Structure 1
Amino acid sequence: MSFYPFYLEYDRPRRPRQLPDQHFGLGITPKDCLTIVALPQNKEYYRPWRNLLSASQDIGSTIKEDKNKFQVNLDVQHFAPEEISVKTVDGYLVVEAKHEEKQDEHGFISRSFSRRYPLPEGIEADSVISKLSSDGVLTITAPLKTPPKASNERIVPIVQTGPVKKQVEGSEEKS
């Protein structure tokens, strides 16, 4: 009877179903190995406690939408500017980045990602702009169209034509 739980787990593949942070694959330090031995085994992979602070400071991907603009911020510090592409396709904002295998302090690594964001109603694809900061944050913004006024009020301009026909009485006395 005691082997029954192990038998149930035997057929299921043991692989992570989610990656909670985007620092997966950056390498494991000896401290990480000690943490893995000290903590009970878990079916999912989670970064050690020491990385929680850095993960909370990491912006990852944030989307802001207010009445004036739509904005996406992405952390792309591991990519060179020429390895990043931003485009709009069929009402979506598509951000892709890829670099070939290169060597770092832990060995060889290659990275790539593709993210797709639906553009809100009222954004023209030609109005999307992107900026890359020196610390590796890609900011993509697009202004929202201002909705037409719901009021039926219309200001009619006054156009002056020709010379003044009637002089003001006070202006003749001063002359």
Structure 2
Amino acid sequence: MALLPYLLEELNRPTIYDQNFGLGLFNDDFPSAVGSLRPYYLRPWRLFPHDESGISSVQHDKDGFKVNLDVQQFKPEEVNVKIADNYVIVNAKHEERSDEHGFISREFTRRYLLPKDVNAEALTSSLSSDGVLSIQAPPKAITNDKGNERQIPVTKTNAPAIKQQQQQQKK
């Protein structure tokens, strides 16, 4: 059995540098009495809540471009989304404020490159009640790659064109 996956699992453990710093302690932050009785019994599911928090998901498929980002530590007015140089830039910052342990401030910036087949002008963003920022851009409309070529409909008339021209010339 390989030990490397189990050793690397501890590297995924939240630290003081995570965005969850200052939110309080989780139950698995405390040593467990059961864990000391069985030191080689691994419980990887104890890290599951941390894996889902603060991770952005990016999707690009036939339906367009979509980003979901956890910004629950910020108020809606502290989150800014803008487009610059074909990048979507998400910036969130709140000023230093005091809590029961001292002072805390938080800031982050994320940049996402917009794919070429996405309509950047129609980009929208929304913030859910549970603090998930969703950014969406639809795909560009399919254009004809043949330049200015377009199909012209042919209409049928019941009158002959040659006779009409001859009658016009006689007049």
| TM-score bin, normalised by smaller chain | 0.5 to 0.7
| Deviations 1:82-106 (CA, angstroms, capped at 9, x unpaired) | 1010000001000000001123454
- Residue segments in structure 1 that go unaligned for 5+ positions in a row: 1-15, 39-47, 166-175
Question: Aligned partners of 1:105 and 1:66: how far apart in 2?
Answer: 45
Match of 1:142 in 2: 137
TM-score normalized by structure 2?
0.61
| Deviations 1:122-172 (CA, angstroms, capped at 9, x unpaired) | 334322110111111110111111333569x966446698xx99xxxxxxx
Question: Aligned partners of 1:32 and 1:53: how far apart in 2?
Answer: 13
Match of 1:63 in 2: 58
Match of 1:73 in 2: 68
- Residue 86 of structure 1 aligns with an amino acid whose one-letter code is V
Distance of aligned partners of 1:157 and 1:88 in 2 relative to their CA distance in 1, 3 Å threshold: same
Question: Aligned partners of 1:77 and 1:67: how far apart in 2?
Answer: 29
Distance of aligned partners of 1:104 and 1:54 in 2 relative to their CA distance in 1, 3 Å threshold: farther
Report the 3-state secondary structure (helix = DSSP H, G, I; strand = E; otherwise coil) of the residue aligned with 1:23.
coil
TM-score normalized by structure 1?
0.60
Match of 2:4 in 1: none
Match of 1:32 in 2: 29
Question: Aligned partners of 1:108 and 1:64: how far apart in 2?
Answer: 36
- Residue 135 of structure 1 aligns with an amino acid whose one-letter code is D
Q: 1:23 pairs with 20, 30, 46, which one?
A: 20
Distance of aligned partners of 1:29 and 1:139 in 2 relative to their CA distance in 1, 3 Å threshold: closer
**8 Å Cα contact 2:71-2:132 kept in structure 1:** yes
| Deviations 1:106-133 (CA, angstroms, capped at 9, x unpaired) | 4431110000000100334322110111
Q: 1:110 pairs with 105, 109, 116, which one?
A: 105
- Residue segments in structure 2 that go unaligned for 5+ positions in a row: 1-10, 37-42, 160-171
Work out the number of aligned pairs and report it: 137
**8 Å Cα contact 2:54-2:71 kept in structure 1:** no
